[in-house]
Structure 1
């Protein structure tokens, strides 16, 4: 049986409230944020454990959680993500961190919860987890878990047998001696060089993370190396939420070291993983949405638009419930289209529209089409409240996209039969259903375009 990855550190309940702000409060010159979406997720070491559980089947989190409403929700979120919790005792209440953002910009962070971790003996399940670990990732958030004397002794002992990666915090305890890798960010490192920190902490290596600039690695061989972000992993322009990037870095490095790679290669793997994590939505992708306002919408009120099926798959599959997909050219959106999309959205919890690119439309419809360019068609679809993502594809049929996406339901208009849909076999092979919805009589993009052309000729 494979040995577990053990994550150690402070855990909290993270809540993100996303919305828009278009006015000021009459009570004070502060913005009023209209909440459009609320996300709940494990925070701190809890997020690190959830991220580890996405690639490892056996992840144990050593942390302290109080027996209160927030603690029970936190435990449920962790267990539903496949994380086993080995508890330390907590006095007080479970820490909770709420971020309020408007159009992707942070407006306020509200922290509450006074939980502390008292010294004392370590429970048996914690001892067993650390004794059996394949590797240990310490995610310190400065709330007392890593200062527990008996726990520190166990971690230091583990460092003599297996890789220990320690992500420190300015208010937390120093890493134990013998860590394979310590990963402070630039702010946490402050004025010290990576080499000076390595010597201070008696670690085999220290890697100072630099966000979009990669990382600087110093090892006990005396080498200092800059590890850049690979171009393919860079986040695009726009709002990129880096929350959780440090946790993604630490768990990726831990997994790589557990697999036996050297420290330099583990850091390269971790830099790439953290950058891709930010580029593909960050912590929101592993959060649980809570219904508020209009569910399923982004912070700018529209759905995501992309040509990357893996991005859609990862983001949409992170949400609970039934994934519905539909597709077509949508060249001149009309009443029939809108009705089909609304009905499709009612069949599940998330709706993805697979949209034929301009080249694909030309092959299917002939010269002169599309009338509207793909990006404009996508923007109109994305503005509909029932649509959560628009995926643009170049092929004549979306079979390869459906193979990757694997929707629970594939919807087409009733003017088709299954025999007309080569992609239906792909959907059914992967356990999905094919649903044909009735069309609205008298509505057709081709007819609208012909009628418009005739009207123009008649007026000329």
Structure 2
């Protein structure tokens, strides 16, 4: 299997993370104490590590690297994760230091200014670019992508090229399949190209994307729009807009790298450009929800979430750091109806975030019978996440939510239904950490089972299909 090759400027990112409870007497700035130092790859090196964690395909990083302490630390962080093909550089390794308190950056301090010192690209670097399944250019404006030898190699790359631009970087080479500027970068380049477009609506973004395709002579432009998703244009016709799933909390640092890395991996696997952009939007949203670049550690793994694969840990940490109340509720939520909506809205009103725990498909089948669920867990989660008063959704495999509650440890567990005066089964679990189980009013006559039975009585086709083994929940 051919490798994914990342070309660009490698940086060393350092987070100095501490706590702050007071201001200095001589200036209105916080005193940061109990500081912990966390190092990780940055720039093109971060993009390479993100890609390597998401694929079994070999990832090769081609980047200028100076001969100094910062470079040695960066080499150590990359070892065993990506194959590094270093090209000569002088001027010192670029180091970005962020001083952070909780989820917030207080100040960033930059040092180092590596300079590419190439006459021609080393043979190993030229070979891996030529033989790549796809190439990701992570331009951080440090001069790598402006070097004639690098540009010549990229123009003849063996696979599709994704170019993640930088305000101080070089223009993409004309053979690029996809360029991924953010909204501000797209506006700046379009204005410099003589196509200033006012506004940030989809019409303005689409006009800028078309202008960039003409200006750069590239195949397509995907303008990333943060929590609005991305707009993909091929230069003519209607653009494709890929909305993002809203993310509460999280660290957006590295989101652009994760988007570009995911798009390049999808193209390397044979996806068309539209499929690659859709995959990239989903991947970037998940990356931010899991804590962004700050969640990476020197072991090469992400910091463990409270519940695997759901991205709720950043949300819970943010709410608890602010002294807020975490509320959880649960159920099958098969065919979301007015009773569910009323209960969920009321539950959200009890605190500062609402996590909905839903039974997996196998769990629903064990509880409700072989014809259920009518809607898969993935689709049930998507529908719930679309509600403004739901902050996160967790799918659990067990028949009861006791295990997932022990990991989430909410302050309040809310259930809707006729439980008033009775001890909820989950109450004993909540008492272990001082949580409270409560009952919420429920709209009488609203249940998924009742909806299904009414549908059966009104539509004779449903029972017939069920007799034939093709009813809801029994098909492929």
Q: TM-score, normalised by structure 1?
A: 0.63
Residue by residue, what CA displacement relative to the aligned partner does 1:131-152 show, whole Å, maximum 9, x if unpaired?
1100000000000111111110
Tell me by how many angstroms 1:261 deviates. Answer: 1.5
CA contact (8 A) 2:38 2:297 kept: yes
Partner of 2:134: 135
Partner of 2:270: 260
Tell me by how many angstroms 1:240 deviates. Answer: 2.2
Measured at CA, do residues 32 and 119 of structure 1 come closer, stay the same or move farther in structure 2, by a change above 3 Å? same
Tell me by how many angstroms 1:30 deviates. Answer: 2.0
Measured at CA, do residues 201 and 376 of structure 1 come closer, stay the same or move farther in structure 2, by a change above 3 Å? farther
Tell me by how many angstroms 1:309 deviates. Answer: 2.8
Tell me by how many angstroms 1:310 deviates. Answer: 2.6
Tell me by how many angstroms 1:121 deviates. Answer: 1.3
Measured at CA, do residues 276 and 126 of structure 1 come closer, stay the same or move farther in structure 2, by a change above 3 Å? same
Find the partner of 1:234 among 246, 261, 276.
246
Partner of 1:173: 170
Number of residues of Structure 1 aligned to a counterpart in Structure 2? 317
- Aligned: 1:93 with 2:108: no
Q: What SS does the aligned partner of 1:190 have?
A: helix
Partner of 2:433: 377
Residue by residue, what CA displacement relative to the aligned partner does 1:391-424 show, whole Å, maximum 9, x if unpaired?
xxxxxxxxxxxxxxxxxxxxxxxxxxxxxxxxxx
Residue by residue, what CA displacement relative to the aligned partner does 1:411-453 show, whole Å, maximum 9, x if unpaired?
xxxxxxxxxxxxxxxxxxxxxxxxxxxxxxxxxxxxxxxxxxx
- Aligned: 1:76 with 2:72: no
| RMSD over aligned Cα atoms | 3.1
Partner of 1:201: 216
CA contact (8 A) 1:165 1:250 kept: yes
Partner of 2:296: 286
Gaps of 5+ in 2: 191-207, 315-404, 415-421, 437-476
Measured at CA, do residues 74 and 222 of structure 1 come closer, stay the same or move farther in structure 2, by a change above 3 Å? same
Residue by residue, what CA displacement relative to the aligned partner does 1:35-58 show, whole Å, maximum 9, x if unpaired?
443321000000000011113341
Tell me by how many angstroms 1:260 deviates. Answer: 1.4
Q: What SS does the aligned partner of 1:377 have?
A: coil
Q: What SS does the aligned partner of 1:90 have?
A: strand
Residue by residue, what CA displacement relative to the aligned partner does 1:161-195 show, whole Å, maximum 9, x if unpaired?
42100000010010001211000001111253001
**Structure 2 counterparts to residues 185-196 of structure 1, below 5 A:** 185-190=182-187, 192=190, 193-196=208-211
Partner of 2:64: 64
Residue by residue, what CA displacement relative to the aligned partner does 1:355-396 show, whole Å, maximum 9, x if unpaired?
78979xxxxxx957766773982889xxxxxxxxxxxxxxxx
Of 9-18 and 111-120, the range deviating more from structure 2:
111-120
Q: What SS does the aligned partner of 1:274 have?
A: helix
Partner of 2:240: 225
Partner of 1:50: 49
Partner of 2:36: 37
CA contact (8 A) 2:230 2:243 kept: yes
Gaps of 5+ in 1: 290-295, 316-351, 360-365, 381-460
Find the partner of 1:272 among 276, 282, 298.
282
CA contact (8 A) 1:234 1:279 kept: no
Measured at CA, do residues 286 and 195 of structure 1 come closer, stay the same or move farther in structure 2, by a change above 3 Å? same
CA contact (8 A) 1:88 1:122 kept: yes
CA contact (8 A) 1:17 1:35 kept: no
Measured at CA, do residues 141 and 369 of structure 1 come closer, stay the same or move farther in structure 2, by a change above 3 Å? same
Rounded Cα–Cα distance in structure 1 between residues aligned with 2:14 and 2:90 = 22
Q: What SS does the aligned partner of 1:288 have?
A: coil
Residue by residue, what CA displacement relative to the aligned partner does 1:61-111 show, whole Å, maximum 9, x if unpaired?
00011111110010110113x101111111121110001112322110000
Query: Does 1 or 2 have the higher relative contact order (CA < 8 Å, sep 6+)?
Result: 1
Partner of 2:113: 114
Rounded Cα–Cα distance in structure 2 between residues aligned with 1:263 and 1:378 = 51
